Structure 1
Amino acid sequence: MKKTCLLLIFTAFTLATSAQLRVQLLRIENLVNPIGLDEQRPAFSWQLVSGKRNTLQTAYEIRTGERIKGVGPVYSTGKVNSGQSVHVRYDGPALEAGKHYYWQVRVWDNNGQASGWSEPAYWQTGLMQPSAWKASWITPGDTETVQRPSPLMRKTFSTNKRVVSATAYITAHGLYEAQINGQRVGDAYFTPGWTTYQKRLQYQAYDVTKLLKQGANAIGVTLGSGWYRGDIGWHTNVYGKDIALLFQLAIQYADGSSESIVSDGSWKSSTGAIRYSELYHGEIIDARLHKKGWDEAGYNDQDWTPVKTVDFSKNQLIATYNEPVKKHETFKPVGVIHTPKGELVLDFGQNLAGWVVIKAKGKRGDSIIVSHAEVLDKAGNFYTENLRAAKAKDIYVLADDQEHIFEPHFTWHGFRYVKLEGYPGSIHPDNFTAVALYSAMPETGSFSSSHKLLNQLQHNIEWGLRGNFLDVPTDCPQRDERLGWTGDAQAFFRTASFLRGVDNFFSKWMKDVAAEQTPEGSVPKVVPNMLGPQQGGSGWSDVATIVPWNMYLAYGDKQILEDQYPSMKKWVDFVTSKSPGHLWKDGHHYGDWLFYSVNDDRDGRSAITDRHLIAQCFYGHSTQLLINAARVLGKNDDVKTYQALLDNIKSAFINEYTTPNGALVSNTQTAYVLALQFDMLPEQQRAQAADRLVANIKQYRNHLTTGFIGTPYLCHVLSRFGHTDMAYTLLLQESYPSWLYPVKMGATTIWERWDGIKPNGTFQEASMNSFNHYAYGAIGDWMYRVMVGLDTEEDGPGYKKITIKPHIGGGLEHASATYQTNYGELAAGWKKSEGQFTLDATIPPNTTATIYLPATPADKVTENGVALSQQSVDGRLIVKVGSGSYKFVVAGGK
């Protein structure tokens, strides 16, 4: 039957004050008032606020200037007739290094209204180019020891004039924490972050104006090994044996003069309380060796050693655009446990990545050992075997009988439980605080439903992200790994982009993907690459195409495609070079990692999918995404070239991996899921393939058998081909293997394996059994985009054109989600009650939406009490709306 589209143009009944058009949340490069940007053409974004429905921007004007009193705008766009309100590129005079700028915007809408000028927003440029660095690299003067105590470096200087602005630019080989006059510089941790250091080393910029004093001042910097020279990826000293600092303080005085305080040979070095620090193994802090006041001006550093200046390159230095790692949620113990082995264990109730802050009072020399674990074993004892070689242990030594507060500096742990040894006195929960650390990406999405276990699954998905997005998307936070596995990242990206604003986080990381790509185009399976030379593999190296395209869909910024297109193209060309006859059978492939398998498999129950079938599907998928990107960027010749290639790839797939009757040579869920998700089958064969998929699921008593590769797409494929009922059956399955099995077993994060803890309480093999491993959390994408139905159109990416198409099932009474788009809050929630279906929706200004309501001609459909006329529908009534809040009610027919 013919579908009917209704266009709703209702006038909102709101207070006059709320209908006033205005502009809010000004951002530049997706950040609020950032400092240290090196981008010559930064992108401006803003949001409209209007109490009227169907509000669209029709024009804007931006003005910018230097943030100096009395100086007017230096650049104005004039009135630009455009609906674009996100990612508007600066196109004014060249920006100067280290300058403070402001910007404002005003807009006009389709109701004939003009907003006033927004409140000013600000940004500060960075050093812009390597030649702007006046500082020298410096290393500690002390000889390196086996324990590698963290070096302390200090410098004193004087300011005798009034300071109007002071900016510190800092980076390191290793990690750093800086203080000025005894106060911490910034609230970021694990700086300068982890990148492909040989090609890209970030520096951070800090406004330290308020930290300076008139007269004597002191700078103190502590260094740690971190990723640079510590144990990482089963190697040590991957980037070098040195540890070094680069520091530059730019001071502007009220009289118009300026001064730079830089790292050079005048600095001094020593060591202090941090005697040992490694990412995997933990820290040793001996408070007896703390140098009180070492980061203040009056400290006597006569016995300190002069630093050494070193001629390290500055050509790879880049500004930081992604959000830094910061402290977030805190937890108090929910239980004090005395295990059967006699261990004293604290339970914080949540598996997280971070550390524990401890208060302790005892005798000088008392040593407290804090060990970390994710789970207790079947008997209730502290379990660390799955950490492999990671010691995950912090040791604190008291200096005297006063109360001490201890926490690490250059390490983190994945844990829910800690074991205490040597703690003096009684255990009081107030003396222990677990702190979660992760990149400070803005929270954007929420989800809730009438299903308690599903809500806990959502919680676990969120905490899987928080535990693994520490500057790079790691696989796990607890064992001797914590690497940027590309397969995990591409599988989880769409879910991540709903939960958090990950555009800056992934833009930074994808530049490292391109930097690690070989000249031939191969992409390593971990980025930054810690595993040495390797040939790319399907599902992992395809991150080069999958993430950029999905970033474009999620955020609507063509710049990510511009930046990554050469890498995308090189990857597809590399695979083509390894695929004679258009069949990709060369290279190393992990296949459907951690798929369902049976130890004593005598009847073929293990769901083994041919690795080369998987590779062929991803070869086709990456080629399609390259075509999509080329089309967006106007590269028409590439569109033609790679479309011809894609046709050959699909033909080769049909000839090699399908039977004349349409069956696949691997009769597994993953095989059918990938073939259908990536359109590898002719259209006339797809319905039967979907039926075969459903039949396979039923053979396993309505359980999934997919691994890292098949799982993200499983429910999407089922819904796409009319099997949403089976998608719900899988999602709500509570026995192994399923998403809810770990929930039933008490998980607070996503597990690496479907049966990390087996039904009998024993563990999977310890060599690979993480309990915080986000890949299977990719089901969240289906929950948000299909169950609730919040999605973006490909021709209106970034939620400029929205679809709300809920899929009801599973016996759920209601489900809802909110998402903070670049335009404002998008929300939808459906509810079933007594034969009535209700859908509430909120559409942000400057966007439009198409809403699909489950309705038949026999149903009565109203919006905010007003009846909607219907002529003919095909299971759904399609309604097009503009911005505003809506309440649709469907009653009667179903």
Structure 2
Amino acid sequence: MSVIEITEVLCEYRKRLLGTDIAMPRFSWKLHSAERGIIQHACRLQLTLADDIDFHDPLWDSGKIETEQSIQFAYEGKELRARTAYSFRVKAWSSCGAESEWSEAITVETGLLHPSQWQAKWITPDVNRIHRESEPIFQLRREFELDHDIVSARVYATAAGVYELYINGQQASDDVLAPGWTSYHHRLQYQTYDVTALLRNGGNAIGIWLGDGWYRGKLGFNDAHFVYGDHRAALLELHVRYRDGREQVVISDSSWKASTGPVLYSNLYHGEVYDASLEQHGWNEHGFDDSHWSPVQTLRLPYEPLLAQENWATVVTQKIQPVKTGITPAGAHILDMGQNMVGRLRLSVRGADKGSEITLRFAEVLDAEGNIYFGNLRTAKQTVTYRASGDEHEQYAPHFTFQGFRYVQVEGYPGQEQHGLSLADFSGEVLHSDMPSTGEFACSDDRINQLQQNIRWGQRGNFLDVPTDCPQRDERLGWTGDAQVFISTALFNYGGGPFFTKWLHDVQAEQQPDGGIPFVVPNIIEGSSSAAWGDAAVICPWTMYQYYGDTRLLAEQYDSMKRWVDYIRAQGEDEYLWNTGFHFGDWLGLDAKEGDYVGATPTDLIATAYYAYSCRLVAQAADVLNLLDDAAYYHLLHEQVVRAFREEFVTLRGRIAAPTQTAHVLALVFDLVEPAIRARVAADLNRLVVDNDYHLTTGFVGTPYLCFALSDHGYHETAMRLLTQQSYPGWLYSVSQGATTIWEHWDSIKPDGSFWSDDMNSFNHYSYGAVGDWMYRRIAGLDMREDTPAYRRIRLHPQFGGRQLTYARAAHESLYGTIECGWTLDHGQLFVNVRIPANTTASLTLRGAAAEQLLESGQNVHVVAGILRVEKEADGVRLKIGSGVYRFSYPAGGLFRRTYTEQTMLSELQMDQQAVDVLNRHAPQLLNGALTNIVHQSSLRQIADNKITRVSEETLGRIVNELQHL
């Protein structure tokens, strides 16, 4: 009998859930076995109070339940109580009868559960003593006495602004910029901190630093101030439990004291000014003399928006050292971090005179002369000023701001003019939401590997509590269009369950009464309801369901999804076309008119295409949620919109009316054309790419789907040529220019070293990194089935890289466990390595394979354990396999020759009869005449089209050499 074990248990995506408002949480667990083909047959779940460490008296015992479900399993006992810690564990049985041990217990602790349970008061300094618009941060403090035998202590805290919490001189958590950014008028997160170890019997003190942050700092294009409110304020309560069962509560109220602090100015865009000589040592400890401090006043801010933190906290996730220092031609001393990063710089200062200033200015790139480039920051200053205290050794990093940067211009550092800057005195602290890494991709082309790293760094930099468009200039907003095109790539690379759950709740909160969706969420600018931007309200919840099987979130967002589609239907005179209103269109499309940001694809074509796509997803969501009437309604609406699209944008002869790459891409990937003409539309798209010398012209709308449209319709080699295009515009152009993140523009730095316009030129802008989704799903072949979410039924179908790649591998840590698909071409043999987690199965398609030659670990696939079915297909073999680790091998020569000759050569060269003659002389023995026949047929077609191009023998000789190498 096989042995199974439970290797990881999660509650609401977390290994430990501290402070939740979810009274009926969900659990997921991962199974492991050395045996193949393991499926869960049954499970048993228990939940008890955390003090009941041996589960002697569980509050809920599901009993043995026959089910294969091992993710998103909802707790079904009595509702959990507020401010209570519980333990959860699970065991499972496999279909072959093996029984696991109980899993390790995980802790689930509730918060206040309801706004009415708050006892604390909102407090701010007395405005008669400290003006509410004071730029220096506020310091708030309170002393209190505790008895001995403390068992546990929790702080529940939040702010109108951003805050740092201290207990007895120690920072209570690693959180940065808490409570994060939400639609504050509707939703304001509070944090729960375990501070048991920081308290002591006798005298104690709480201290809070309070800054503006997103709440009342300057935000948006107009540097708007007081966006959400004109008072910074704090809200806190501390609950201490003693061994004898007593509880003591300390709350924010009028008994607190207030002062200003050493942070004289702090703004997310502009930076921070810190005067270390103004530090009041011991201000957050017991016994500090606060007699000169000001009183506080309570505010009547609402409690209704308060909810426990949903998102991952923002923390320092990595520390990196600068790689070099230098002096620019303009004479500036700079640090090079070696990586365009988002976060802050920590400096260590020795020997500075009291009051002397060190100024740090942050930027992403150097210009052609080697000087630091600030132009793309627009009005954002990105400047940090530190005034020394005069102590022998000082350390500092900003508290309430962050920068997007690779380079730092340093002024006033002690000794820099005589000795230069020392690398050891500086450290970069990377900040973003603390998402676990879940995705890997690598291949035989180091340029593509760098692209993958750029995609990941771009996500890290822009997933700082909200999915922002850029982290450096005066914007940093949650653009809906950027989020929806990138979400699938994002969820592959990092665990985004809490991140997008929180953001989508804000999308719903910001939705307008008529169903429109703002351009940005949280919404602080004017404008709403552009196609492809507003569709985030539909696409993002559906993608979350696809990755995590999160039907609860889908149900929560379903009304918002419906209202968006209903909003579209209400626009204009034709309810099945969307041809009214403002749209961003194919934003930054390269086929735009001179001086225009909007690509050439008609906006009504894009809008109607997205209308159809969102209709389809809402209908599918209704199917999942078993809303039969809604499902029928939106499936019918989808059919009617598709019909209208065809009548409006497809000619009678089967051409897309708009001759742009994006128009063809959307028609194919959103399934908007008749099956009979799909091949023609795909051929037209391929020709548009080939005729543009294998360069794209797509913008924000078309680019994420372009390679999918090509690969899925027989033109994978063209897609690979696009990916590996190193000249402008192409993904590897920025890599060739030394980029370490994704650029906003294909030519943010032009080949001559000059810059695209300063107006909109971010060097950390993740949208075009959406190509990662295609890399993982098509090159490596690690994919999912749309009808079975969360990778329960895995789809593996690598499309081998022709002459470009000899190796590719992707791995993803799903809720079920690690999935891996990788392939290697070695001396004419193709090796495919696969890892399938327990309680899942996979369909593996191996192109070019023959069943009689296909081996797994040296054995014929027909006799291998774990392989459930072997099916021959026209272009290879498809296997159904159970969980386990597999290594397949088969001869690859025919496959790679066919891929190269049929797709690459004919699209690379326009050949005539002379080319046929040359190839006949060079390579008939290699290809047995097949290539000659293909080229000859192509030549006749090209002669008819009058598109003959003479090809030199030298060029053809090169091709033959490549073929011989294959």
What range describes the TM-score normalised by the shorter chain of this pair? Answer: over 0.9
Q: Distance in 1 between matches of 2:598 and 2:509?
A: 38
- Cα deviations by residue, 1:378-397 (Å, 9 ceiling, x for unpaired): 11111101000000000000
Q: Partner residue of 1:551? A: 544
- Are 1:260 and 2:245 counterparts? no
The CA deviation at 1:313 is 0.8
Q: Partner residue of 1:889? A: 889
Q: Partner residue of 1:393? A: 383
Give the alignment partner of residue 175 of structure 2, picking from 159, 168, 188. Answer: 188
Q: What letter matches 2:651 in structure 1?
A: T
Q: What letter matches 2:256 in structure 1?
A: W
Deviates more, 1:555-564 or 1:478-487: 555-564
Q: Partner residue of 1:376? A: 366
Q: Partner residue of 1:637? A: 629
Q: Distance in 2 between matches of 1:597 and 1:663?
A: 19
CA contact (8 A) 1:476 1:483 kept: yes
Give the alignment partner of residue 21 of structure 2, picking from 38, 46, 52. Answer: 38
- Are 1:507 and 2:492 counterparts? no
Give the alignment partner of residue 198 of structure 2, picking from 197, 206, 211. Answer: 211
Report the 3-state secondary structure (helix = DSSP H, G, I; strand = E; otherwise coil) of the residue aligned with 1:695.
helix
Q: What letter matches 1:874 in structure 2?
A: A
Q: Partner residue of 1:94? A: 79
- Are 1:786 and 2:786 counterparts? no
The CA deviation at 1:655 is 1.9
- Cα deviations by residue, 1:426-472 (Å, 9 ceiling, x for unpaired): 42110000111000011000111000100000010000001100000
The CA deviation at 1:579 is 3.8
Report the 3-state secondary structure (helix = DSSP H, G, I; strand = E; otherwise coil) of the residue aligned with 1:418.
strand
Q: What letter matches 2:766 in structure 1?
A: Y
- Are 1:68 and 2:55 counterparts? no
Q: Distance in 2 between matches of 1:104 and 1:85?
A: 13
Q: Partner residue of 2:189? A: 202
Q: Distance in 2 between matches of 1:551 and 1:607?
A: 29
Q: Partner residue of 2:950? A: none
The CA deviation at 1:161 is 2.7
Q: What letter matches 2:97 in structure 1?
A: G
Q: Distance in 2 between matches of 1:87 and 1:605?
A: 43
- Cα deviations by residue, 1:725-767 (Å, 9 ceiling, x for unpaired): 1110101111000000000011000000000000110000000
Q: Distance in 1 between matches of 2:718 and 2:42?
A: 47
CA contact (8 A) 1:265 1:306 kept: yes
Q: Partner residue of 1:492? A: 486
- Cα deviations by residue, 1:46-68 (Å, 9 ceiling, x for unpaired): 11121111011011111111112
Q: Distance in 1 between matches of 2:64 and 2:588?
A: 56
Q: Distance in 2 between matches of 1:893 and 1:371?
A: 56
- Cα deviations by residue, 1:577-628 (Å, 9 ceiling, x for unpaired): 0042221112210001111147769xx9995111111001000000010011
Indicate how the Cα distance of structure 1 residues 856 and 145 shifts in structure 2: closer, same or farther if over 3 A, else same: closer
Give the alignment partner of residue 316 of structure 2, picking from 313, 327, 337. Answer: 327
The CA deviation at 1:855 is 3.0
CA contact (8 A) 1:372 1:413 kept: yes
Q: Partner residue of 1:169? A: 156
The CA deviation at 1:209 is 0.5
Q: Distance in 2 between matches of 1:231 and 1:859?
A: 68
CA contact (8 A) 1:607 1:668 kept: no
Q: What letter matches 2:530 in structure 1?
A: G
- Are 1:28 and 2:8 counterparts? no
Indicate how the Cα distance of structure 1 residues 116 and 605 shifts in structure 2: closer, same or farther if over 3 A, else same: closer
Q: Distance in 1 between matches of 2:118 and 2:182?
A: 20
Aligned residues: 874
CA contact (8 A) 1:374 1:416 kept: yes
Provide the alpha-carbon RMSD of the alignment.
Answer: 1.6
CA contact (8 A) 1:464 1:749 kept: yes
Deviates more, 1:589-598 or 1:484-493: 589-598
Report the 3-state secondary structure (helix = DSSP H, G, I; strand = E; otherwise coil) of the residue aligned with 2:152.
strand
CA contact (8 A) 1:859 1:892 kept: no
Q: What letter matches 1:743 in structure 2?
A: V
Q: Distance in 2 between matches of 1:710 and 1:478?
A: 26
CA contact (8 A) 2:554 2:621 kept: yes
The CA deviation at 1:665 is 2.4
Q: Distance in 1 between matches of 2:793 and 2:131?
A: 58
Q: Distance in 1 between matches of 2:741 and 2:468?
A: 14
Q: What letter matches 2:77 in structure 1?
A: G
CA contact (8 A) 2:152 2:241 kept: yes
Q: Distance in 2 between matches of 1:106 and 1:378?
A: 62
The CA deviation at 1:111 is 1.5
Q: What letter matches 1:740 in structure 2?
A: L
Give aligned-pair identity as a percent: 44
Gaps of 5+ in 1: 1-15
Q: Partner residue of 2:947? A: none
Q: Partner residue of 1:178? A: 165
Q: What letter matches 2:192 in structure 1?
A: A
- Are 1:404 and 2:394 counterparts? yes
Q: Partner residue of 1:4? A: none
Indicate how the Cα distance of structure 1 residues 675 and 598 shifts in structure 2: closer, same or farther if over 3 A, else same: closer
CA contact (8 A) 2:587 2:597 kept: no
Q: Partner residue of 2:939? A: none
Q: Distance in 1 between matches of 2:427 and 2:892?
A: 54
Give the alignment partner of residue 627 of structure 1, picking from 596, 619, 625. Answer: 619
The equivalences for 1:444-463 within 5 A come to: 444-463=438-457
- Are 1:570 and 2:563 counterparts? yes
Indicate how the Cα distance of structure 1 residues 856 and 143 shifts in structure 2: closer, same or farther if over 3 A, else same: closer
Q: What letter matches 1:549 in structure 2?
A: W
CA contact (8 A) 1:859 1:891 kept: no
The equivalences for 1:219-230 within 5 A come to: 219-230=206-217
Q: What letter matches 1:501 in structure 2?
A: G
Q: Distance in 2 between matches of 1:607 and 1:240?
A: 39
CA contact (8 A) 1:444 1:499 kept: yes
- Are 1:134 and 2:123 counterparts? no
Q: Distance in 1 between matches of 2:100 and 2:438?
A: 26
Q: Distance in 1 between matches of 2:602 and 2:593?
A: 19
The equivalences for 1:633-672 within 5 A come to: 633-672=625-664
CA contact (8 A) 1:98 1:124 kept: yes
Indicate how the Cα distance of structure 1 residues 644 and 150 shifts in structure 2: closer, same or farther if over 3 A, else same: same
Higher relative contact order (CA 8 A, sep 6+): 1
Report the 3-state secondary structure (helix = DSSP H, G, I; strand = E; otherwise coil) of the residue aligned with 2:885.
strand
CA contact (8 A) 1:725 1:809 kept: yes
CA contact (8 A) 1:187 1:326 kept: yes
CA contact (8 A) 2:455 2:741 kept: yes
Give the alignment partner of residue 417 of structure 1, picking from 394, 407, 413. Answer: 407
Q: What letter matches 1:430 in structure 2?
A: A
CA contact (8 A) 2:589 2:597 kept: no
Q: Distance in 1 between matches of 2:164 and 2:597?
A: 53
CA contact (8 A) 2:532 2:610 kept: yes
Q: Partner residue of 1:12? A: none
Q: Partner residue of 2:136? A: 149
The CA deviation at 1:794 is 2.0
Q: What letter matches 1:463 in structure 2?
A: W
CA contact (8 A) 2:849 2:890 kept: no
The equivalences for 1:359-758 within 5 A come to: 359-361=348-350, 362-425=352-415, 426=419, 427-532=421-526, 534-581=527-574, 582-597=576-591, 608-758=600-750
Q: Partner residue of 1:6? A: none
Q: Distance in 2 between matches of 1:295 and 1:820?
A: 42
The CA deviation at 1:873 is 2.9
Q: Partner residue of 2:897? A: none
- Are 1:831 and 2:828 counterparts? no
Q: TM-score, normalization: structure 2?
A: 0.89
Looking at secondary structure, tell me which structure has more helix per residue.
Answer: 2
